């Protein structure tokens, strides 16, 4: 990709391990420096956006086009059809709620290139005794086990959702697209390209994972037990990035809980704190992004980027978005940078008739800001989504999604 773009070298990302390195990560607010964000309510020709009609017809498409070409990449116009299969169902107890879980797989038609197979792995869990269609959260999840870490005294998030009358669909993004460079010629990206290399503006893994969310939505909308008008999305860390991308691009999603998403998600890239743009463009993460994104870690800089995270959040407007993070141990994702991105998205929410965060003062740990369509909370633990699920459910109720 660097050869294609005629780039000979890339700047290194922030080093989170060696404090003496010249590119050591910055965790000092006094060293963040000055930055200027693109104005989400100003057209490319400099004219202001003063009405919702101008936002929908002119400005929003401009922002989408910039993210498509420079950040996440374009999804091919024609993609294969999907056939969903129920692999099995079990009835069991989740906490104190009787539930039914179905294992699903979405078979992607690979007749155009049989060498590559893609199956969207998902499971759907619903309260067994529900009398009416229920809201459902699509939760991007890992298949492996991770070491336990302190997460508070609240019940597990699965229990909380079911106890509050919700269902959840656990979707495995790596079943759609592998989380590595080698996988770019496999998965849905490889299938769409018939095993060939990406073009610079083709989609990366984040956009592919978000595409998978939309395909899961398609299936859920056919299930009469699910309220299709109350389907949300949630993800943590790299899957928090993908969940926010899905929320921004798919207007059918009713609500989002974006957890510790960092660079490429809710964090302002222009803010030099924690992970930097150059990390996203590096060997371990560049497959998440469009190839053209590499330019901003080479001949160009983050200040040349035509968009930033606040505009990704603004693309979700007027739908409610709750942004969460941890406290100690979660600085890499720049919690304050995510809060400030939500603040900067506020004018778009207000233009569209919704209440924003209502403050630009960074809140203390465990202080929830959830009275509007934008929400934020930094819990007292580390890099984990669990302690903010209770607050998210309160946020959803405040926005009449429960």
What pLDDT, in 10s, does the model give residues 162-179? 999 999 999 999 999 999
Strand pairing category for 134-140 and 119-127: unpaired
What pLDDT, in 10s, does the model give residues 299-344? 999 999 999 999 999 999 999 999 999 998 899 999 999 999 999 9
Under 8 Å between Cβ of 319 and 233: no
Residue 80 CA neighbour count, 13 Å, CB half: 26
Strand pairing category for 134-140 and 167-171: parallel
For residues 20 and 122, give the distance between their C-alpha atoms in angstroms, rounded to a whole number: 44
What percentage of the chain has pLDDT greater than the value 70? 98
For residues 193 and 37, give the distance between their C-alpha atoms in angstroms, rounded to a whole number: 35
For residue 83, list its beta bridge partners.
Answer: 107
Q: What is the mean pLDDT of residues 215-222?
A: 98
What is the pLDDT confidence band of residue 151, given thresholds at 50, 70 and 90? confident
What is the pLDDT confidence band of residue 148, given thresholds at 50, 70 and 90? low
Can the peptide bond before residue 318 be classed as cis, meaning omega within 30 degrees of 0? yes
What percentage of the chain has pLDDT greater than the value 90? 96
Provide the 3-class DSSP secondary structure of residue 291. helix
Residue that has been written with the tokens 């404090």 in this structure:
19
> Which has more confidence, 144 or 343?
343
What pLDDT, in 10s, does the model give residues 282-303? 999 999 999 999 999 999 999 9
Supply the pLDDT for residue 153: 87
Under 8 Å between Cβ of 298 and 9: yes
Q: What is the mean pLDDT of residues 99-108?
A: 98
Domains of the chain with CATH codes: 2-13+40-398 (3.40.50.1820)
The pLDDT of residue 56 is above 90: yes
Q: What is the mean pLDDT of residues 94-102?
A: 97
For residues 264 and 249, give the distance between their C-alpha atoms in angstroms, rounded to a whole number: 14
Supply the pLDDT for residue 261: 98
- The rounded mean pLDDT for the chain is 96
- Estimate the crossing angle of helix 238-249 against helix 205-220, to 10 degrees: 60
What pLDDT, in 10s, does the model give residues 184-208? 999 999 999 999 999 999 999 999 9
What pLDDT, in 10s, does the model give residues 338-382? 999 999 999 999 999 999 999 999 999 999 999 999 999 999 999
Supply the pLDDT for residue 280: 98
Strand pairing category for 226-236 and 167-171: unpaired
Residue 371: phi, psi to the nearest 5? -85, -10
Give the C-alpha distances (Å, rounded to integers) separating 21 from 15, 24, 36, 224, 275.
Answer: 7, 5, 27, 56, 15
Residue 321, token pair as written in the block:
């978005």
The pLDDT of residue 144 is above 70: no
Would you say how long the chain is, in residues?
A: 402
């Amino acid at each position: 990709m660097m050869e294609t773009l005629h780039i000979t070298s890339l700047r290194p990302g922030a080093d989170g391990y060696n404090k003496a390195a010249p590119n050591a990560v910055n965790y000092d607010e006094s060293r963040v420096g000055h930055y200027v964000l693109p104005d989400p309510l100003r057209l490319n020709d400099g004219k202001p956006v003063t009405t919702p009609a101008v936002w929908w017809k002119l400005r929003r498409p401009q922002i989408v086009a910039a993210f498509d070409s420079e950040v996440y990449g374009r999804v091919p116009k024609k993609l294969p059809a999907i056939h969903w299969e129920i692999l099995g169902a079990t009835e069991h107890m989740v906490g104190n709620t009787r539930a039914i879980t179905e294992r699903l797989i979405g078979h992607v038609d690979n007749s155009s290139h049989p060498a590559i197979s893609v199956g969207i792995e998902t499971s759907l869990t619903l309260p067994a005794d529900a009398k009416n269609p229920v809201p459902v959260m699509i939760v991007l999840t890992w298949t492996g086990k991770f070491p336990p870490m302190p997460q508070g005294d609240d019940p597990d998030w699965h229990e909380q959702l079911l106890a509050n009358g919700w269902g959840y669909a656990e979707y495995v993004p790596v079943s759609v697209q592998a989380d590595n460079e080698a996988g770019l010629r496999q998965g849905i990206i490889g299938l769409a390209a018939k095993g060939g290399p990406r073009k610079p503006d083709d989609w990366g893994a984040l956009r592919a994972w978000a595409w998978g969310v939309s395909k899961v939505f398609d299936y859920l909308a056919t299930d009469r037990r699910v309220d299709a008008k109350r389907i949300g999305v949630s993800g943590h860390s790299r899957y928090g990035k993908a969940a926010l991308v899905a929320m921004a691009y798919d207007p059918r999603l009713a609500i989002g809980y974006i957890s510790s998403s960092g660079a490429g998600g809710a964090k302002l890239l222009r803010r030099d704190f924690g992970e930097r743009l150059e990390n996203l463009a590096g060997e371990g993460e560049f497959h998440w992004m469009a190839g053209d994104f590499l330019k901003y870690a080479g001949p160009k800089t983050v200040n040349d980027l035509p968009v930033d995270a606040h505009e990704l959040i603004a693309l979700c407007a007027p739908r409610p978005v709750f942004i969460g993070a941890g406290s100690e141990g979660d600085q890499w994702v720049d919690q304050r940078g995510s809060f400030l991105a939500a603040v900067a998205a506020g004018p778009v929410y207000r233009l569209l008739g919704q209440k924003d965060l209502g403050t630009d003062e960074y809140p203390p740990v465990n202080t929830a800001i959830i009275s509007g369509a934008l929400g934020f909370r930094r819990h007292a633990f580390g890099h984990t989504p669990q302690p903010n699920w209770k607050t998210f459910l309160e946020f959803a109720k405040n926005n009449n999604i429960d």
